[in-house]
């Protein structure tokens, strides 16, 4: 694993992030899950339904003596099983190799053939042959028993007698999987074997996919006729099972016809690699643009993530997932060398999908489209991911591009660089809130209430506290007042804070309000003051920004600013604020007082730049080969610190 593989999450050391003891499966191993296994364990695979006979009142994922699991463990060769995943070398009585659960250059992973267990002296991971297969394959204990038995050539007991209904359901699922496998082959043949298909292939070539990529992802084409697939399938399968497959629809006369017509076809596989559905992209102007399989006995869209079957190993190695929206996005990212990518199949991310992904990693980079719909999808996904305890970053690509179009125009290296620099979700959301109108009390309140639902979903108290500090800094709100408002909202189970004058304060800080007065009243130094404000752009981001900009522009013209005339050029909120400030009483303006107010604004700008530079330093530190840029940023940081805290004379 390269140093950049985990760059978006490098704040966690590999040792901490990959300790097997933190896995839900292994926690269950040590703490026990008796309630799940109080009845005879059954293989989770529908085609199997085998009773293994390891029933025990205090069962803790251990093979009961005399059970099938115990026989498998006794007969299994742990060296042979582990050796399929790790290159092992003889070392005395044991075997050693590089640990598959964390990155290392010197082998610290040992397997004992006599004691039949493994242990890593680097990250502390250990267990028996079942634990190893469970963690490598991300499967349950019953599934691990069957897998180890098959690897070692141990016959699996015959399934218990099933009810007629169970047999029918099992047979139907088997038939549906077979139909989808055959349909995938049919669509792939159509892509290259027909004139219509070759036209679709030209479209894919234009989208940057070569023949090798099309074959790798099983991409095909559904012809426009309406009965091509049906004719093939009716030769082998009954109309009853075809009707529930999701590949066909019925007309008003009750006759079946192909559901997918004149579409590029993307096979959708479950986590074990079995094709269970399809997504079809229209060629031309047909609607809908994307058409997916409906829910069937083998497919529930809320329980499947596109490309997960291919991404499992990369997810385990890199310990983070890239979450995109569409099939082409996932394919483009994978072809760019980022194999740990999954897509939510064109649907909003669901809780079951997050739980499925959590079996492999809890570190997620959300990379949805940056358009309005994509931003809304990102925000919905963040809510679910945070509730499930995920560590989330957000990648919003520049230029309004989705991952597919960005990679085609900018290249995979540019995408990987931005992926490694993806900011934490807190920065993304505050950035979104900062784009709201923060010059008014109402705008600040809207920004705070936009962030509140995400704050409330953070289970960690320390992280919530950090949020409050950053929100107050970015939105320029008094932090103690914000914390109190958020606390009351949480206690009252409200998802928003109430409007309170002290929360947003009086519009405009004293220094900026006084500068407005001086630009109106200070005849002697008005032009010099306007020049200082304009040169340093000190009015940018202030609540009085538009008022100061209008006054500076009036001073540049050489005339005396007329508050009444200027007010007529401003929006209602700024007009009222200008009149409010103009009627305030103050002493005669002096240049010393003006310099003091300018110093306040310069310090504010320096503090904001320092915060930006610090973020850039943290980002560059995670990027290889950025030494020169990092040195420049560190020098700038020191310069800003000296400006903010000059040495005492």
Exposure b/e, 284-303, CB count within 10 A at least 16 = b: eeeeeebbbbeebbbbebee
In order of 258, 511, 604, the CA distances from 601 in angstroms are: 68, 8, 5
Looking at the structure, do residues 251 and 170 belong to the same domain, yes or no?
yes
Q: Are 271 and 306 in contact (CB under 8 A)?
A: no
For residue 198, what is the enclosing H or E element?
Answer: helix 195-206
Looking at the structure, do residues 631 and 516 belong to the same domain, yes or no?
yes
Give yes or no for residue 341 having a pLDDT over 50: yes
Report residue 271 as tokens.
Answer: 């986590």
**Cβ neighbours, 10 Å, residue 94:** 17
Looking at the structure, do residues 414 and 324 belong to the same domain, yes or no?
yes
pLDDT score for 426: 85
pLDDT score for 284: 79
Residue that wins the pLDDT comparison between 414 and 345 = 414
Residue ending a domain, choose from 266, 299, 332? 299
Q: Which whole number is the average pLDDT over 266-285?
A: 92
Identify the domain containing residue 634 by its residue range: 509-649
pLDDT score for 493: 66
- What's the pLDDT band for 26 if we cut at 50, 70, 90? very low
- What's the pLDDT band for 9 if we cut at 50, 70, 90? low
Residue that wins the pLDDT comparison between 9 and 285 = 285
Nearest alpha-carbon partner for 258 in 227, 222, 233: 227
Number of structural domains the chain divides into: 5
Residue that wins the pLDDT comparison between 60 and 483 = 483
Domain assignment present for 111 = yes
**Which residue carries 């700024």 as its tokens?**
574
Domain assignment present for 158 = no
In order of 344, 349, 396, the CA distances from 391 in angstroms are: 18, 16, 17
Alpha-carbon gap, residue 233 to 186, rounded angstroms = 10
Give yes or no for residue 27 having a pLDDT over 50: no
Alpha-carbon gap, residue 388 to 356, rounded angstroms = 11
Domain assignment present for 327 = yes
Give yes or no for residue 249 having a pLDDT over 90: yes
Looking at the structure, do residues 418 and 443 belong to the same domain, yes or no?
no
Looking at the structure, do residues 202 and 135 belong to the same domain, yes or no?
no
Residue ending a domain, choose from 358, 392, 423? 423
**Which residue carries 């349950």 as its tokens?**
140
Cis omega (within 30 of 0) on the bond before 184? no
Domain assignment present for 84 = yes
Looking at the structure, do residues 312 and 294 belong to the same domain, yes or no?
no
Alpha-carbon gap, residue 399 to 406, rounded angstroms = 8
**Which residue carries 């549906």 as its tokens?**
176
Alpha-carbon gap, residue 338 to 335, rounded angstroms = 7
In order of 35, 279, 345, 347, 506, the CA distances from 267 in angstroms are: 37, 7, 11, 16, 58
- What's the pLDDT band for 31 if we cut at 50, 70, 90? very low
Domain assignment present for 159 = no
Give yes or no for residue 539 having a pLDDT over 50: yes
Cβ neighbours of residue 584 closer than 8 Å, sequence gap 6 or more: 513, 517
Exposure b/e, 386-422, CB count within 10 A at least 16 = b: bebebbbbbbbbeeebbbbbbbbebebeebbebbbbb
Domain assignment present for 156 = no
We report the CATH number of the domain holding residue 16 as 3.90.580.10
Looking at the structure, do residues 560 and 573 belong to the same domain, yes or no?
yes
Give yes or no for residue 478 having a pLDDT over 60: yes
Alpha-carbon gap, residue 112 to 31, rounded angstroms = 24
Looking at the structure, do residues 181 and 252 belong to the same domain, yes or no?
yes
Alpha-carbon gap, residue 637 to 624, rounded angstroms = 20
Pairing of strands 391-394, 248-250: unpaired
Cβ neighbours of residue 226 closer than 8 Å, sequence gap 6 or more: 257, 258, 261
pLDDT score for 195: 93
Looking at the structure, do residues 183 and 83 belong to the same domain, yes or no?
no
Pairing of strands 263-269, 220-222: antiparallel
pLDDT score for 184: 97
Looking at the structure, do residues 389 and 458 belong to the same domain, yes or no?
no
pLDDT score for 646: 66
Radius of gyration for the alpha carbons in the chain, expressed in angstroms and rounded: 32
Q: Are 345 and 357 in contact (CB under 8 A)?
A: no
Alpha-carbon gap, residue 205 to 207, rounded angstroms = 5
Looking at the structure, do residues 445 and 492 belong to the same domain, yes or no?
yes
Residue ending a domain, choose from 504, 531, 555? 504
Give yes or no for residue 206 having a pLDDT over 50: yes
Looking at the structure, do residues 516 and 644 belong to the same domain, yes or no?
yes
Which of 319-323, 470-474, 592-596 has the highest mean predicted lDDT (pLDDT)?
319-323
Least confident of 216-220, 269-273, 501-505, 508-512: 501-505
**Cβ neighbours, 10 Å, residue 258:** 22
Q: pLDDT, tens digit, for every residue of 97-134?
A: 999 998 888 899 999 887 788 999 988 888 899 999 99
Alpha-carbon gap, residue 416 to 433, rounded angstroms = 26
Domain assignment present for 157 = no
Q: pLDDT, tens digit, for every residue of 550-579?
A: 999 888 877 788 888 888 888 887 888 888
Alpha-carbon gap, residue 448 to 472, rounded angstroms = 9
Domain assignment present for 2 = no
Cβ neighbours of residue 52 closer than 8 Å, sequence gap 6 or more: 40, 41, 42, 43, 67, 68, 69, 142, 145, 157
Q: pLDDT, tens digit, for every residue of 343-381?
A: 997 668 999 899 888 878 889 999 998 887 888 888 889
**Cβ neighbours, 10 Å, residue 502:** 11
We report the CATH number of the domain holding residue 238 as 3.90.980.10
Mean pLDDT of the chain: 81
pLDDT score for 332: 97
pLDDT score for 626: 61
C-alpha 184 chain-centroid distance: 29
Alpha-carbon gap, residue 306 to 290, rounded angstroms = 15
Q: Which DSSP string do the residues of 445-463 spell out, in sequence order?
A: HHHHHHHHHHHHT---HHH
Q: Are 265 and 280 in contact (CB under 8 A)?
A: yes
Q: Are 329 and 276 in contact (CB under 8 A)?
A: no
We report the CATH number of the domain holding residue 387 as 3.40.1360.10
Alpha-carbon gap, residue 24 to 33, rounded angstroms = 11
Whole-number percent of the chain with pLDDT over 90: 36
SS3 per-residue string spanning 386-420: HHCCCEEEECCCHHHCCHHHHHHHHCHHHHHHHHH
**Cβ neighbours, 10 Å, residue 233:** 22
Q: pLDDT, tens digit, for every residue of 135-189?
A: 988 888 988 998 998 888 888 876 667 788 878 888 999 999 999 999 999 999 9
pLDDT score for 30: 34
- What's the pLDDT band for 240 if we cut at 50, 70, 90? very high
pLDDT score for 498: 57
pLDDT score for 64: 56
């Amino acid at each position: 694993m390269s140093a950049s593989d985990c760059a978006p999450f490098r704040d966690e050391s590999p040792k901490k992030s990959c300790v097997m003891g933190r896995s839900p499966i292994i926690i269950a191993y040590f703490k026990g899950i008796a309630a799940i296994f109080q009845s005879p364990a059954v293989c989770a695979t529908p085609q199997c339904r085998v009773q293994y006979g390891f029933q025990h009142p205090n069962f803790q994922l251990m093979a009961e003596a005399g059970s099938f699991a115990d026989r498998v463990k006794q007969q299994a060769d742990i060296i042979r099983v582990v050796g399929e995943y790790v290159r092992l070398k003889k070392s005395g009585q044991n075997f050693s190799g590089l640990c598959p659960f964390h990155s290392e250059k010197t082998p610290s992973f040992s397997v004992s053939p006599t004691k039949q267990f493994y242990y890593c002296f680097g990250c502390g991971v250990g267990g028996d042959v079942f634990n190893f297969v469970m963690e490598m394959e991300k499967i349950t204990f019953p599934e691990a028993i069957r897998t180890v038995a098959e690897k070692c050539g141990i016959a699996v007991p015959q399934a218990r007698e099933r009810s007629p209904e169970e047999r029918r359901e099992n047979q139907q699922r088997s038939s549906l999987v077979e139909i989808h496998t055959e349909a995938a082959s049919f669509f792939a043949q159509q892509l290259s074997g027909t004139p219509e298909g070759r036209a679709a292939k030209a479209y894919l070539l234009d989208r940057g996919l070569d023949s090798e990529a099309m074959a790798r992802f099983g991409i095909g084409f559904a012809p426009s006729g309406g009965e091509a697939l049906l004719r093939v399938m009716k030769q082998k399968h009954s109309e009853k099972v075809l009707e529930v497959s999701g590949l066909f629809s019925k007309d008003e006369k009750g006759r079946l016809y192909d559901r997918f017509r004149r579409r590029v076809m993307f096979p959708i596989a479950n986590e074990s690699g079995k094709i269970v559905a399809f997504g079809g992209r229209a060629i031309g102007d047909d609607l809908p643009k994307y058409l997916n399989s409906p829910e069937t006995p083998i497919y529930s869209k809320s329980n499947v993530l596109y490309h997960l079957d291919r991404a499992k190993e990369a997810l385990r190695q890199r310990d983070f997932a890239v979450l995109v929206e569409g099939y082409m996005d996932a394919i483009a990212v994978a072809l760019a060398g980022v194999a740990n990518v999954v897509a939510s199949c064109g649907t909003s991310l669901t809780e079951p999908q997050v739980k499925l992904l959590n079996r492999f990693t809890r570190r997620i980079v959300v990379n949805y489209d940056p358009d309005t719909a994509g931003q809304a999808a990102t925000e919905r996904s963040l809510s679910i991911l945070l509730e499930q305890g995920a560590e989330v970053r957000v990648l919003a690509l520049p230029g309004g591009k989705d991952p597919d179009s960005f990679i085609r125009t900018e290249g995979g290296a540019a995408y990987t660089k931005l992926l490694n620099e993806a900011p934490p979700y807190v920065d993304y959301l505050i950035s979104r809130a900062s784009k709201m109108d923060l010059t008014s009390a109402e705008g600040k309140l809207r920004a705070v209430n936009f962030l509140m639902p995400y704050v409330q979903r953070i289970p960690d108290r320390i992280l919530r506290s950090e949020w409050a500090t950053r929100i107050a800094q970015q939105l320029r709100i008094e932090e103690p007042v914000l914390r109190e408002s958020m606390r009351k909202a949480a206690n009252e189970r409200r998802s928003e804070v109430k409007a309170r004058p002290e929360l947003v304060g009086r519009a405009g800080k004293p220094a900026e309000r006084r500068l407005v007065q001086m630009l109106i009243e200070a005849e002697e130094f008005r032009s010099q003051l306007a020049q200082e404000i304009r040169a340093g752009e000190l009015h940018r981001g202030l609540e009085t920004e538009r008022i100061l900009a209008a006054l500076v522009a009036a001073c540049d013209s050489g005339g005396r600013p007329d508050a009444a005339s200027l007010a007529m050029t401003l929006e209602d909120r700024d007009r009222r604020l200008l009149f409010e400030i103009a009627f305030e009483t103050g002493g005669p303006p002096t240049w010393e007082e003006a310099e003091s107010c300018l110093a306040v604004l310069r310090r504010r700008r320096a503090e904001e730049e320092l915060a930006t530079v610090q973020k850039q330093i943290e980002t560059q530190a995670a990027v290889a080969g950025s030494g020169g840029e990092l040195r420049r940023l560190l020098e700038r940081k020191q310069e800003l610190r000296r400006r903010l805290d000059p040495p005492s004379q």
